[in-house]
Amino acid sequence: MTYINYQVLYNPSEYGLTNITDPCWDGDYSGNGAQCANPEEYLFWDAIHPTAAAHLLIGEWASPLVLPDLPGAPTIGTATAGDAEASVSFTAPDFTGGSAITSYTVTSSPDGLTGVGVASPITVPGLANGQTFTFSVTATNSIGTGPASDGSNEVTPEVREEEIFINGFETVP
């Protein structure tokens, strides 16, 4: 027995139904017969067809299975600071919304600076060196942008001095 059947059979009043066994129409297929007074409270129109109320219930249950939705939140990974930037790793959401994810956006806090890409990791440029940031990630599909991930670890971008070697000797940059 499916979940839908179970819910209607054991909790019909939750769905506005008062009769889940008898048909609303007591006539034959030539038009001879009578309709019940309250068809919106019946599950069956005749011996085999659902009523309009039942069709609405079926549509409500089925639409999330066949219609795309917003994706879920990605799972945040690790943020790594660079010089005026940070690289943020993450894992794709378990729920894509039934539509392919087209992009991910990583947003800094504070300042709301962003980096956009199609896979992890994504770099957020333009960060102020010496300032501490955290990041969140959202996924976007053809329907729109889903909820943000949890926040990342804190990072503080800073200027990275590079060692320069000339003829095998280290020099100061």
Q: Where are the domains of the chain?
A: 3-66, 75-140
What pTM, to 2 d.p., does this model score?
0.61
Q: What sign for the dihedral angle of Cα 162, 165, 169, 173?
A: negative
CATH topology assigned to domain 75-140? Immunoglobulin-like (2.60.40)
pLDDT tens by residue, 54-99:
898 888 777 767 778 899 999 999 999 999 999 999 999 999 998 8
pLDDT tens by residue, 151-172:
999 999 998 776 566 666 665 5
Q: Are 90 and 76 in contact (CB under 8 A)?
A: yes
